Structure 1
Amino acid sequence: MARKPVKAAVGDVWITCQICRGELFRERGVMLNSAGMEFMKMAWADETATGLICWHCGYVHLFANRDIRLYKAEQ
């Protein structure tokens, strides 16, 4: 089942796709694994980011900024 589309902003700046300028995204959490932590079997402790996948073209945008806000959007 496909997730519902979202719009996103950091502060008062709305995020648009870098490729197609689309405004709708699918959101998912992304682990930012490092080789050292993988080697020590501690990848669970690595930092995470918010992944926004463009609803139209599929380009993946990554945000480590915790101030990103997501809003429900109509398709």
Structure 2
Amino acid sequence: MAKPVRAQLGDTWITCQVCQGDLFRERQIKLNSFGMEFVKMAWADESATGLICWRCGYVHLFVNDGIKLSRVEK
């Protein structure tokens, strides 16, 4: 299983919008569009950083490249 991470954007630490937890599992997520799927080029679609809350499972998506992740030993 993936190790938990904490995330920050600039000076702001990110917390879950639902449960206020601060540990996440990180995953890259493709932002598929119908047009690119239609012409069989979904591989070229933009991707986002998905942060899945360790406590409640809510998925947060970030397209910003400035997000910093810090691994946490749990």
**Which residue in 1 is equivalent to 2:21?**
22
> After TM superposition, where is structure 1 displaced by more than 2 Å over at least 4 residues in a row?
none
Give a deviation string over 1:2-60, Cα, whole Å, max 9, x none: 10000000111000000000000000000000000000000011000000000000000
- TM-score calculated relative to the size of structure 1: 0.96
Q: After the TM superposition, which residues 60-71 of structure 1 pair with which residues of structure 2 at under 5 Å, given as runs?
A: 60-71=59-70
Unaligned 5+ segments in structure 1 are none
Seq. identity, %:
68
CA apart distance, 1:74: 3.1
Q: Distance in 1 between matches of 2:51 and 2:40?
A: 27
Q: Distance in 1 between matches of 2:43 and 2:73?
A: 34
**Which residue in 2 is equivalent to 1:56?**
55
**Which residue in 2 is equivalent to 1:8?**
7
- TM-score calculated relative to the size of structure 2: 0.97
Q: Distance in 2 between matches of 1:70 and 1:34?
A: 27
Unaligned 5+ segments in structure 2 are none
Q: Distance in 2 between matches of 1:74 and 1:18?
A: 23
**Which residue in 1 is equivalent to 2:46?**
47
Root mean square deviation, CA, Å = 0.6
